[in-house]
Amino acid sequence: MKPMAETDFANPLPINTEDPGGRQQPMLLVQSLQKHFPIKSGILQRQTGAVRAVDDISFSVLKGETLGIVGESGCGKSTLARLLMHLIIADSGTLVFDGDPVSEMRGISLRDLRKNMQMVFQDSYFSLNPRLPVRNSIAYGPIVHGMGKIEAQRLANDLLNRVGLNSEIFGARYPHELSGAQKQRVNIARALALTPRVLILDEAVSALDKSVEAQVLNLLNELKRDFNLTYLFISHDLNVVQYISDRVLVMYLGQIVEIGPVEEIYNKPRHPYTRALLHSRLSMNPADRVNEPPIGGDPPNPINPPSGCRFRTRCVFAEGVCESMQPKLDNVAGDRHLAACHMTNPSSGHSKATS
Amino acid sequence: MAYDTNTVEASPAPPDAGTALVEVRDLGVEFVSRESTTCAVNGVSFSLAPGEVLCIIGESGSGKSVTMRALMKLHPPKYTRISGYMRVGDHEVSACSEREMRSIRGSQISMIFQEPMTSLDPVYRIGDQIAETVIRHKKCSRAEGYARALELLKLVGVPSPERRLNAYPHELSGGLRQRAMIAVALSCSPTLLLADEPTTALDATVQIQVLVLLRRLQQELGMAVIFVTHDLSVAAQIADKVAVMYAGRIVEYGPVAKVLQHSAHPYTKGMLASTVSGHMRGQAIEAIPGSPPDMRVRMEGCSFAPRCKSVMPACRQGTPPLLTVSHGHEAACLNFA
């Protein structure tokens, strides 16, 4: 990576400073979002079940923040990202982008939504067109949105330089000629080409080696500051999420179990699942070895999730009430730190419930 | 090959070379294709005592998996050139024929892989796959093979093992599949277990279960384990000794506590500094600049020199040999010369 001084740019990169909704308006407001994938079987292909990938999820993303989304594989975090981008269509629920409902009457159109919200995927190779030089891949979006070809190419070159790839060397290369980290830089440049306000990063650094992961994380932090961005950072790596996020959302089997500011989630977790996840982090000190795994078993199948609280099959505090009643993520006192656990609700009837 | 002969002499020699279970000297692996020759491993030497756990740490392309597969001769002979000496127990692996290798694999040395779904056969039941190895090596009956399979599933902590014997791999969760694969690997009580990133594909809560299990089994059965990983914290959990690989060479070797707490080689230090932790919030991470070298191009001098902060002119001239930092702790860096 060649460090690029700000003055090296031929022309300054466009920064989206629009803010029609006002500072206080959340950037994204998600309400009761739901997506069940039907399972069909038999000769008649009748629906026999459903994978409850995302089940009644509500949250908001504030302007300029980084919301980290953590959870184990199969918890629905990637489905959630794709639902937000409308890459898959939700069964129900609403999405409000900066005050404008998405794909509704008098709302923001899908075309404008995608211009304002872009995504970076985990697999840096399969998300680039293998037959396009990376410069053309980056220029593709702006051209579709009405920019002239020459201008788009120039923008692509500037973006390549900005993400630390010399456009004269790398611009004409094809994806297979780049290393994993370089491809991921191209993906980030492409996501920025439409001057979005929100970037969804779906495990964007998970496939990278540790030494280059740090480079890309530094780049993401710089870009966020310089381009006035809001991030949705999806990852299974708790250390990375803690490093980059302002708020953290913990998912388990298609539902939110806990959401709150990063310091509170990491220092005072309220949900037993969050605690188990945090205890599963491995120490770098060989003298500090774990002898007893914090929880047993694997996450259950999202096809037939357990009744009541979905975590109860692995939870050491599970009681009768956990089986019969689903804990809610209620916001009673305007608290920014919420957990969907009966133990945090004094009126739930759980014996360990605290007031 | 262009590596320095000093590497061999300075290689970690055990107190008594005769008692070591594994001995690898000056291993080189080259992949030959029509377009280019890739030197994936370039003069690697190490030895391992019985019952010891060695972790090979490195990034993708550093040659860590290639080294391990060479020990089991899993590379296609047509496109691979292997040089150097390898011994496991009484078998000189580097001189073994394919027929001899087949009887060693699974009985003396066995291996577990990163992705259990692709390394278990999807059309056979779990019980069949475990029993197959037992029947092949112990020449026992089918019923005995199945009894052993049940015993093994209990050993690796699979719940309701009787039922799982008849399950197909796709019916098991990721963690159970990895446990089943460990059961296959342990079926003939090998003296050496090779583990190629066995926990990388697992979720955090499951990864820790498998690590604790592997450590318990290693201690109970007294196996030696070579564990390949890119994750320094996994090494901290399981290793006795650590070898850090970069561009096909061991750049640092020593007891786990010394390598991770008092690392000597600039690459190891850089890896530790660039490992993200939550305490670094708000500040830039000290990343190692650049990317690993292209192994198709042979380069002079230390392969880490282009990315190294404390590079000297001498670094670009010859490959630095492993030099002693403290007792049993060695680093291939001229700063210690």
Helices (H), A134-249: 134-144, 149-162, 167-170, 180-192, 210-227, 238-244
Report the pLDDT averaged over residues B141-161.
92
Kindly indicate the confidence band of residue A300, based on its pLDDT and cuts at 50, 70 and 90: confident
Nearest to A210 among B230, B260, B280 (CB): B230
B283 vs B142, higher pLDDT: B142
Q: Is the distance from CB of A220 to CB of A188 less than 8 angstroms?
A: yes
Predicted pLDDT of residue B252: 95
Predicted pLDDT of residue B6: 42
From chain A, the residues in CB contact with B284 under 8 A are 218, 221
Predicted pLDDT of residue A46: 86
Count of CB atoms situated within 10 Å of the CB of B299: 16
CATH 3.40.50.300 is held by the domain B6-108+192-199+223-275+287-336 = yes
pLDDT at B260 over 80: yes
Chains A, B: CB pairs < 8 Å = 134
Decide if B232 and A218 are in contact by the 8 Å CB cutoff: no
pLDDT at A94 over 80: yes
Nearest to A282 among B59, B233, B286 (CB): B233
- Please give the residue of chain A at the shortest CA–CA distance from B178: A298
Predicted pLDDT of residue A187: 95
Give the closest-approach CA distance of A283 to chain B in angstroms: 6
Residue tagged 């914290």 (tokens): B233
Predicted pLDDT of residue A355: 55
Which ipTM was obtained for this model? 0.81
User: Is the minimum CB–CB distance between A299 and chain B shorter than 8 Å?
Assistant: yes
pLDDT at B264 over 50: yes
Question: Best residue in A72, A298, A304 to probe B by mutation, most B CBs within 10 Å?
Answer: A298
Nearest to B276 among A182, A243, A280 (CB): A243
Question: To 5 degrees, how large is the angle CA B104–CA B108–CA B113?
Answer: 90
Question: Between helices B142-155 and B126-138, what is the axis angle to 10°?
Answer: 120
Separation CA A2–CA A122 (nearest Å): 24
Task: Show Cβ contacts of residue B244 under 8 Å, excluding neighbours closer than 6 positions.
Answer: B57, B58, B250, B251, B252, B253, B259, B265, B267, B268, B271
From chain A, the residues in CB contact with B256 under 8 A are 286
Decide if B205 and A276 are in contact by the 8 Å CB cutoff: yes
Domains of chain A: 8-14+25-41+48-251 (3.40.50.300)
pLDDT at B16 over 70: no
Decide if A210 and B271 are in contact by the 8 Å CB cutoff: yes
Report the pLDDT averaged over residues B234-243.
94
Tokens of B92: 């000189």
pLDDT tens digit sequence for A252-294: 999 999 999 999 999 999 999 999 999 998 888 888 888 888 8
Decide if A180 and B59 are in contact by the 8 Å CB cutoff: no
User: Is the minimum CB–CB distance between A297 and chain B shorter than 8 Å?
Assistant: yes
Closest CA to B200 of B192, B210, B185: B210
Q: Mean pLDDT over all residues of chain B?
A: 88
Kindly indicate the confidence band of residue B318, based on its pLDDT and cuts at 50, 70 and 90: confident
From chain A, the residues in CB contact with B270 under 8 A are 211
What is the domain partition of chain B in residue ranges? Answer: 6-108+192-199+223-275+287-336
From chain A, the residues in CB contact with B245 under 8 A are none
Q: Mean pLDDT over all residues of chain A?
A: 88
Decide if A218 and B237 are in contact by the 8 Å CB cutoff: no
- Please give the residue of chain A at the shortest CA–CA distance from B207: A280
Write out residues 142-161 of A within 8 Å (CB-CB) of B: none
Kindly indicate the confidence band of residue B11, based on its pLDDT and cuts at 50, 70 and 90: very low
pLDDT at B14 over 70: no
pLDDT at A7 over 50: no
Separation CA B73–CA B77 (nearest Å): 8
Write out residues 208-227 of A within 8 Å (CB-CB) of B: 209-215, 217-218, 221
User: Is the minimum CB–CB distance between A291 and chain B shorter than 8 Å?
Assistant: yes
Beta strands in chain A (DSSP E): 28-41, 46-61, 66-70, 92-97, 100-101, 117-120, 198-202, 230-235, 247-252, 255-261, 338-339
pLDDT at B317 over 70: yes
Decide if A243 and B285 are in contact by the 8 Å CB cutoff: yes
Kindly indicate the confidence band of residue B4, based on its pLDDT and cuts at 50, 70 and 90: very low
Predicted pLDDT of residue A333: 56
Kindly indicate the confidence band of residue A334, based on its pLDDT and cuts at 50, 70 and 90: low
From chain A, the residues in CB contact with B237 under 8 A are 282-283, 286, 289-290
Helices (H), B166-250: 174-186, 204-221, 232-238
Report the pLDDT averaged over residues A314-328.
90
Q: Is the distance from CB of A274 to CB of A265 less than 8 angstroms?
A: yes
From chain A, the residues in CB contact with B291 under 8 A are 179, 181-182, 212
User: Is the minimum CB–CB distance between A1 and chain B shorter than 8 Å?
Assistant: yes
User: Is the minimum CB–CB distance between A239 and chain B shorter than 8 Å?
Assistant: yes
Helices (H), chain B: 6-9, 64-71, 98-104, 116-119, 126-138, 142-155, 161-165, 174-186, 204-221, 232-238, 256-261, 266-274
Decide if A217 and B230 are in contact by the 8 Å CB cutoff: no
Predicted pLDDT of residue B18: 58
User: Is the minimum CB–CB distance between A296 and chain B shorter than 8 Å?
Assistant: yes
Of A99-103, A314-318, B253-257, give the lowest mean pLDDT range: A99-103
Nearest to A290 among B176, B212, B280 (CB): B212
pLDDT at A8 over 80: no
Kindly indicate the confidence band of residue B59, based on its pLDDT and cuts at 50, 70 and 90: confident
